[in-house]
Structure 1
């Protein structure tokens, strides 16, 4: 199984995007999000200049591309200008959607995966849901003539992505509960809820979107509690660092954006504070993983590891695929 370095771009980008969409607003919030977004964009460019075959083997690449694109729209406009941000997001959304549809199609073609169920099977089928949500963010910024087509595409991506993700979730939920892979399950749950809420607002069906999103987010929060217990047990047994640790970031970030969407549409203070609390956990996880990802000199007499170019792939985690 090969690890995908673009998981780091996903995990960094979602910190910026979720920070902007929080219902709790602080004076420095958008500026901090812009810094994190710029880091994600720079990392994506760096990795693109040093490509590896494993980078194209699952859905991390298209999700990273679209996450950076959405970040340009949400956080980067103050630095690069709103017009440039919209144009950049439109290009990255188009590229990411095209690649994501390919990965999802290949995953369905190879639906008879060998071996036991693996949470990494979810990665190739989540990009259409990311396309649906990030495309919905782009809707207010595109010309009127383009808007109906973009909205139709987002609705089609959502309608196709949800049953495929549900099918794969039903298989993956039988997989052994191992950390950090167990957190990947949050990705399709949080992303589908986020997409539903954004599209519900865009189409005037916010109530129907809430009826879909609330139970999905409830399931995500219940799963997160179980995943936290699995992770705590793994830490007690010693959990070695690997690129799989990025599983702690992006999936949780999608739940943050989903809960933030509920807070925005309902005005619920409880949902707002829950989103803020989950975001604090997201930032803590991100800081921890970034700190462990910094390149370190090799120990005397043995190989070290070099951040994004050579993470040891310990266990089954984000970015791995049969």
Structure 2
């Protein structure tokens, strides 16, 4: 009996009745892996005073992440081709449908990596590729930000006592695209294209952040009235840090490029104002993020007392922390304050440790097939 058990442990997808079940049960939750891995690659490359070793490590991780994104996109596309009737059930599921937002956010980390790693290695030829991918990312982000809330209002069943920060995922995607636009805009050769991308990025930021803050307000009330969510959703406490950190980073990145791009398009004074507002908004949002991060730490400690079951939601520990780390390091470079440098490094180290823990559990769960579960078809016969 022990021998048979050992053989099952070594056999891939041992928890699935057949290997094809991995495609049938594949959900957008998996793209959260590309979000966490991608933000770690970017954070490693921005370590203050980091040498070529850390940058090469980040580049390797980014290439691995790009391959993962392509793999996941292929698996999810295959599910829609092979199991269309079951795949479309996701639109009626009140939780899994939220994870559509992880697809454009995962793509955004690849676009940012193209600029950070691809540009020095392959030259200016990477910029048009990044630009095309960015507009695709924008289209997906806008679709997620409108259509998923529309489904919440018209088709899905929701209750305030069951609400979690997962509601943020489809909304925040536009904000992440805005931050990517701030990175990409100055690399475009045409002044008008820079102008269009910068203005679009500001619109995306405004498209996302106020709605995200509305959700955060309701989330505070929900937790005060109904206390913490179930242990399965423990990592969702960190998701609130995502829109705050991304909002701050977006303002810092857009503000940094605003003077040059606004001036080139005949509005030099406005560009200087945008830069100042971006810095002040970035610092202010960073302070709010500090409150949410400390609260998330306390909540996680509370969950750990009773144990937290592992699921793909654990990747929610990584991306928000990574974005907040990037924001902290950006403030360090702009303000020249040692506190932000030291705290940013601490956050990156924490991100590395968390990523190592989560990726190990994910690899084991994927190998055995335990993580291939689609709640929207869980009641159907296998």
Change (3 A) 1:207 1:24: farther
Structure with higher helix content:
2
Q: How far, CA to CA, are the matches of 1:154 and 1:14 in structure 2?
A: 19
Q: How far, CA to CA, are the matches of 1:7 and 1:164 in structure 2?
A: 21
Please say if residues 22 and 257 of structure 1, whose CA atoms lie closer than 8 Å, have aligned partners that are also in contact: no
Q: How does 1:1-322 map to 2 (within 5 A)?
A: 4-51=29-76, 52=79, 53=87, 58-79=100-121, 81-110=122-151, 112=153, 114-116=158-160, 117-144=163-190, 145-176=192-223, 177-178=228-229, 179-204=234-259, 205-295=274-364, 304-306=368-370, 310=372
Q: CA RMSD in A?
A: 2.2
Change (3 A) 1:297 1:156: closer
What secondary structure, in the 3-state scheme, does the structure 2 residue paired with 1:180 have?
helix
Count residues in correspondence. 304
Output the TM-score relative to the length of structure 2: 0.74
Please say if residues 152 and 158 of structure 2, whose CA atoms lie closer than 8 Å, have aligned partners that are also in contact: no
Please say if residues 48 and 341 of structure 2, whose CA atoms lie closer than 8 Å, have aligned partners that are also in contact: yes
Q: How far, CA to CA, are the matches of 1:96 and 1:271 in structure 2?
A: 31
What secondary structure, in the 3-state scheme, does the structure 2 residue paired with 1:28 have?
helix
Change (3 A) 1:232 1:24: farther
Q: How far, CA to CA, are the matches of 1:199 and 1:104 in structure 2?
A: 21
Q: How far, CA to CA, are the matches of 2:220 and 2:329 in structure 1?
A: 26
Deviation at 1:115, TM superposition (A): 1.2
Q: Which structure's CA Rg is the greater one?
A: 2
Change (3 A) 1:102 1:270: same
Q: How far, CA to CA, are the matches of 1:62 and 1:26 in structure 2?
A: 30
Deviates more, 1:202-211 or 1:143-152: 202-211
> Which structure exhibits the higher relative contact order, with contacts defined as CA atoms closer than 8 Å and separated by 6 or more residues?
1
